[in-house]
Amino acid sequence: MFSFLMTAYGTEGYLPTTIASVVSQTRDDWELVVVDNGMSDDIARIVQMYQVDNPRIRLVRQENKGYRGGVMAAAAAATGEFVCVLDSDDHLAPEFCARVGAFLDENPDVDAVGIDAHRFSEPEELNLPTGYMRSIGVTARADPDRPLTFRDVIGGRVPYYTAAIRRTAWDDVGGYEPGIDDVDESVLIWCRLVERFDVRLLPDRLARYRIRPDSLSREPAKVEAFERQLMRSFAEAARESAVAEHQVAADETLRGLRYHQAIRRARQSLLDGDAVAAQQAARSAVTEKRTVRSTAIFVAVTLTPRLVTRIHPVKQHMTRYVELVVGRVGQATH
């Protein structure tokens, strides 16, 4: 019933526990296709070690074709009714197949089922109190009896990437090969799926998402690249849709993303002691959304640039200043 699609590159240290989480499933109708996406002898050895006792695990080897190319190579080799992308450093909960499978057995017309996930950090690998959906701003509990809508996804209710997607639906929307560049395929696929198919979201945390030391949120350049892909994904999804309301929803979301991006840039510029850049970013935030927070930041960086420059040499003082201007105002508006 389930084909797990895994591409592995540079994750030799994580791969054994990820494979073990699949092997530990309490429901047995699964297969795991691992793509050695770079011809690593260590990755091949790890997979082959598990294959001895688990013939449902298969290995595909190829030169590195990137993340998207690795997932699609796994999909090409998969034979299951539902495909499930699984990163090679994350984990499945033992009941993933049982819980998702039971829901699909009871709802045979559903084409895709998303889930929530635990988040865990290194090196302790303990689950963090905030789950995946809540970490992206979704606070309402998912209702599996209600189909997920385009407005849900475009508004931020994007399911965790490990999900069960019917193979025919996966193929119909292009899987992780959306046909355009510079998009987040794990976001665009949900926008396309909810337009054409019955998609549900379970509230259960049935996977574990690893927060690595090199996670994208720790590198400003990666954050910028991700945001660019995310915004392009939403814009492309709205362009493809024939529903005018979807364009309106996308515009609202994009405006919000640009607003928060500008707020972050203003803060970073303050930390860097660049008052001019901070003013420009703050002005952009006000242009996108005139809120108490954006107005307060704009006033602060406009009226006190000398103060900002003067305290820049002392990093701790700069951080405290930013927290006063941004943090307290932000708390007052929530």
Residue 214: the pLDDT is 64
User: The pTM is what?
Assistant: 0.84
The CA R_g of the chain, rounded to the nearest whole Å, is 22
Residue 333: the pLDDT is 34
Residue of 139, 143, 166 lying closest to 155 (CA atoms): 139
Residue 166: the pLDDT is 98
Distance of CA 183 to the CA centre of its chain: 12
* pLDDT per residue of the chain (334 residues) written in tens, 0 to 9: 999 999 999 999 999 999 999 999 999 999 999 999 999 999 999 999 999 999 999 999 999 999 999 999 999 999 999 999 999 999 999 999 999 999 999 999 999 999 999 999 887 789 999 999 999 889 999 999 999 999 999 988 999 999 999 999 999 999 999 999 999 999 999 999 999 999 999 999 999 999 877 655 556 777 888 889 999 999 999 999 988 899 999 999 999 989 988 988 888 887 788 888 988 998 999 999 888 888 877 877 777 655 544 544 433 443 443 444 433 333 333 3
Question: How many Cβ atoms sit within 10 Å of the Cβ of residue 125?
Answer: 11
SS3 string of the chain? CEEEEEEECCCCCCHHHHHHHHHCCCCCCEEEEEEEECCCHHHHHHHHHHHCCCCCEEEEEECCCHHHHHHHHHHHHCCCCEEEECCCCCEECCCHHHHHHHHHHHCCCCCEEEEEEEEEECCCCCECCCCHHHHCCCCCCCCCCCCCCHHHHHCCCCCCCCCEEEHHHHHHHCCCCCCCCCCCHHHHHHHHHHHHCCEEEEEEEEEEEEECCCCHHHCHHHHHHHHHHHHHHHHHHHHHCCCHHHHHHHHHHHHHHHHHHHHHHHHHHHHCCCHHHHHHHHHHHHHHCCCHHHHHHHHHHHHCHHHHHHHCCCHHHHHHHHHHHHHHHHHHCC
Residue 215: the pLDDT is 59
Domain 2-215 has CATH 3.90.79.10: no
Q: Rounded to 5 degrees, what are φ and ψ at 195?
A: -75, -30
